[in-house]
Structure 1
């Protein structure tokens, strides 16, 4: 199974989408991997499914140095991401944001009642019920990114969440 990435549609061809995955390479998402039925490029307009500027969660299924990454949306939770916001972090900090056995990300999801999806490419999609909750998560992620090398971070994040939620 390949890496989960959060991407942005930047171009279309008649048979595929070009996706910015926050990398030196532009990824390709082929229409045949998205559409379940038989795809006819002369009749079907792929922009009806994804248009330029839309955000998606995808899995890298193929990549080597001689060709750009190929994406797939076949998998649980993959596809178009509606609403919310994207937060970019240093990709090396992704494991700390996730935490051991998902502890950090689960803490944030549970305490803030927001939806999050973390791409291995350093993009985080956040969808909260309010703008304030999304801004709180941005603040938490920035703190984790800055202090990822320190001990006791999970407790400090939990304290910060409770402190911020008391204010609102």
Structure 2
């Protein structure tokens, strides 16, 4: 705040809603926040945990006990039986304090290994624009395409659905938002694109 003016510390799009103002940065890597849903890609493992690429400067750590349960044994349980390098996992940030890599969990509902769907990657800074106010933008896309879309705050999006045309349109809409997040009438443009026949 500078006098009566609000000054942003980063370049981005301003959104004014009720009595709040926020700035969505146009670029940047994902910065973990506790409770964020993130889609990680398994890179490697130790005897006690997996390491996940979460599109961040930090590496996500998923404890084996979180997947196997309380009776996990580093000697008896084979981590590769649950998750292998390259697997996508829907997780939540359980703990993070800058001094160590974020601790991830899959203990909530709808979390865990992702077995189906197409992966789309966008800039993490565009995720709020994809979701829209009160989830409005993502609802428009899901309703128009018959897809289910899982959004990671780290910019990884998984689109699932039975109809190939619906999948294609949903992915096209997501990329459109990624490229045109700064455009004022973006919702209307997305709606029109979704209503057109064919591609």
TM-score by length of 2: 0.78
Aligned to 1:156: 189
Deviates more, 1:2-11 or 1:120-129: 120-129
Residue from 81, 95, 99 that aligns with 1:48 = 81
Aligned to 2:198: 167
Quick one: distance in 1 between partners of 2:140 and 2:115? 23
Q: How much has 1:141 moved relative to structure 2?
A: 1.1
Aligned to 2:22: none
Aligned to 1:123: 156
On the 8 A contact 2:52/2:59 being kept in 1, the answer is yes
SS class of match (1:96)? helix
Q: How much has 1:132 moved relative to structure 2?
A: 3.6
Deviates more, 1:30-39 or 1:108-117: 30-39
Deviates more, 1:136-145 or 1:3-12: 136-145
Task: Point out where structure 2 has 5 or more consecutive residues left out of the alignment.
Answer: 1-33
Deviates more, 1:74-83 or 1:19-28: 74-83
Residue from 138, 142, 146 that aligns with 1:113 = 146
Quick one: distance in 1 between partners of 2:72 and 2:181? 46
Greater helix content:
1
TM-score by length of 1: 0.92
Aligned to 2:172: 139
SS class of match (2:71)? coil
Deviates more, 1:59-68 or 1:142-151: 142-151
Residue from 52, 55, 59 that aligns with 1:19 = 52
RMSD of aligned alpha carbons: 1.5
Aligned to 1:95: 128
Cα displacement string for residues 133-156 of structure 1 (whole angstroms, at most 9, x for unaligned residues): 333222111211222222222122
Quick one: distance in 1 between partners of 2:55 and 2:181? 21
Deviates more, 1:99-108 or 1:78-87: 78-87
Aligned to 2:10: none
Task: Point out where structure 1 has 5 or more consecutive residues left out of the alignment.
Answer: none
| Matched length | 166
Deviates more, 1:128-137 or 1:101-110: 128-137
Quick one: distance in 1 between partners of 2:51 and 2:124? 21
1:12–1:131 Cα change, 3 Å: farther
